[in-house]
Amino acid sequence: MLALSGSLEVTIGDEHIEIVADGQQLTAHVTGKRYLRRALASLTAGKPMLRILAARLSQSGLTLTIRRDGNPIAQIGAGTQASVVGRLLDIPHFAIFPRERRP
């Protein structure tokens, strides 16, 4: 198993992503909606990349949770049960959380 510690800040246009690693848990805090909408809209185009990312994270024992405004919106990697979207795209270890499930 792999364990990470640290943080990384990425700015794309007017959107900011802060990635924090603590052991096997990676969390991406996203501000803004434009880039995330584009990324989610292109899920089918990015399916091979997501499949590889999910497999690599799972094999390494890592889990990436994507949050916006403190609420989880997606998760990929170890211990993640595929959501309906994950099953439709045939990507194990990938979940998008519906708004009603978000805390």
Confidence of residue 16 (pLDDT cuts 50, 70, 90): confident
Most confident of 10-19, 28-37, 53-62: 53-62
pLDDT digits (tens, 9 = 90+) for 55-71: 999 999 999 999 988 88
φ/ψ region of 19 (left if φ > 0, alpha if ψ in -120 to 50, else beta) reads beta
Residue 37's pLDDT is: 59
Mean predicted lDDT score pLDDT of the chain: 84
pLDDT at 30 over 70: yes
